[in-house]
Structure 1
Amino acid sequence: MLMAASDLHVSHPENRRIVESVQADQTSDWLILAGDVADDLSEFEWAIRTLAAKFYRVIWVPGNHELWCTAREPLALPGELRYRQLVDICHRYGVVTPEDEYPVYTAAGGQSFVIAPLFVLYDYSFRHPADFTPQQSLERARRAGVVCADEYFLKTYPYPDIQSWCDERVRFTEARLSAVSRDCPLILVNHFPMVQGLTKQLQPQEFSIWCGTRRVEHWLTRFPVCLVVYGHLHLQGSSLIDGIPHVEVSLGYPRDRQERQPFHVVTALDSLLT
């Protein structure tokens, strides 16, 4: 069975207990982790080690929280160096990352699917209104009292800013996707939604500028995509866009679940594969 979860945020004790309670068939079940597993490296490694021991295969993409440099880790490496640390931890436990060969999952009916874990950031292009510049959108958000913690904790070294890092990741990822055979349906996994319209439920709306990039939306028609798995919004659910299911699989913070019952710890995906 193919399952997915994101935004586990295991620094919260309740979430850590939930992760410990997850049950799976270690001989056959696959797990997609769509980012924001933890804020610091020790908690991240604990979660990766714990889940890798429960599942046959685990596939991970980074969220924004994993990339943070905070006072909790005074010696934390910034930007790309931090990302490489996360990749190294995943490799230690056999977990697939965006730097690895894309794995092929075979569903119960015999159909095979290529799973592409993506590391694509945001560039403030999910803007309202669309004709605002990034600077205008950031100022509008600040005046509304909305500032994502990434502005303080997400370092972009060696890139001068988040847009430049996003640009590099888009180019790198598009080249990799272009090399994948068109004969096998493609499951895209990204922490951030890949279509701006999926952020319409966000409150406040000003936060959407930290939620993705419009530069990847055309991938959904350029490549043989059959399913998109994402997180970040803490709004579990599925949306059908131009015939493609987009599934948000966030566990989220404990306070999120007080307003959202029932919730899934992990979301089963096999029924969406066609």
Structure 2
Amino acid sequence: MTSQEIFAQIQKKSSFLCVGLDPDIQRIPKHLLKEEDPVFTFNKVIIDHTIDQAVAYKPNLAFYEAMGPAGLETLAKTLEYLPKDTFTIADAKRGDIGNTSRLYAKAFFEQMNFDAITVAPYMGEDSVGPFLEFDGKWVILLALTSNQGSKDFQVIKNQSNQPLYASVLEKSKAWGTTENMMYVVGATRGESIAEVRKLVPDHFLLVPGVGAQGGSLEEVAKFGMNNQCGLLVNSSRGIIYASSGEDFGKAAKKEAILLQEAMAQQLNIYCK
């Protein structure tokens, strides 16, 4: 999927919402446990109730791998169920080198047919390059995350007084293009998103942290939006766990609509 095709979906739905499919068997509604595949049923209901608002879906691999082989079957069924014009992101945070990295890429891009995968850049170009060899696929590089531990390394400054995350952005721009590389930037960073935009003005940003983690959609749009939107804002818990009852699908849709309506307002302001 090209950046223009992603933008076309954003325009069509007046939304840049990405829904995180992170199904915890301990948290999904109890009435689903009688189903043959409770997690797949859960995912289907979430997809059915949010597909009009979401342009992307992001399964976190840990939630599926934790269930063993059955979990990977559930993931495969979920991917097959998603409409073909939906952007799919494997939140896998892989980051090895050489043939190992290449085989990870084959697994996610060829076997599972994801559109994109999150990748950790700590091992440098060796760990990222193999993923960029696949036409029509995307690397989403971890740049500036919103977790507490991000301060341990990502904001350490070098001799030029440049934080590490900025070095990652500048260096990695030479590895890929605006058609195969995006960046993860946490919503709770606020004005730091503006600093990211100075370095990568035309790349898409995947932004977690809006909603349950306290990030402001208005700030994300103000500092991060470009003339093709350039944002995919993820919401996981705030949508998929909006209710633990039999109405969980309707509750998810309500939350998705609230976000979509707010996103439509921001698109009208910054991306006409």
TM-score normalized by the length of structure 1: 0.46
TM-score, normalised by the number of residues in structure 2: 0.46
